[in-house]
Structure 1
């Protein structure tokens, strides 16, 4: 991803179970909420500092995943968002480059 590509809009639909990001290069990414929660980038969810770059993009392709909700999203500087999940977890910072890489369209077979 071009480092200059940034979000121009972020929409959450707990009803539809999706977070949608519109990017400055006119790409729109749609992330199932369960997949985002499974891929929380915090050290606890990743299983330690040595696993910080290990993600599970296949979680976005699960059929009939458990429902989860987003309570809040905050921007962190100019590089990330912090999501507060319905289960109270909120320590993961989702960087733009990670979100763009995790785009489910990039991982379909």
Structure 2
């Protein structure tokens, strides 16, 4: 069954498989890439240096270490966009973001990251 999970302040769609007493969480490749990009962007805010060349495993280890030192959970940095949208576009962006339970800025960042991966990857 598909289910969104929050890892280190980032919500990613995953597939949950339960077979008997065995519980597995599978994150599709595109979700793993997005999580990796998120961690590269967010970890420096928590004093953990990373680069896009780091493995997903090392980034997750750094994120776990960062969260152990926090009182709460990691969060995605809030950005003020340096430009304005047409009101109808802004409404659509806000509506789409609320359906995914994220901010409009986070949704916009994800859209840009996905398009970047599509063009570059």
Shorter-chain TM-score bucket reads 0.3 to 0.5
TM-score computed with the length of structure 1 as normaliser: 0.33
The structure carrying a bigger helix percent of its residues is 2
Could you say which structure has the higher strand fraction? 1
Q: Rg larger in 1 or in 2?
A: 2
Q: TM-score, normalised by structure 2?
A: 0.31
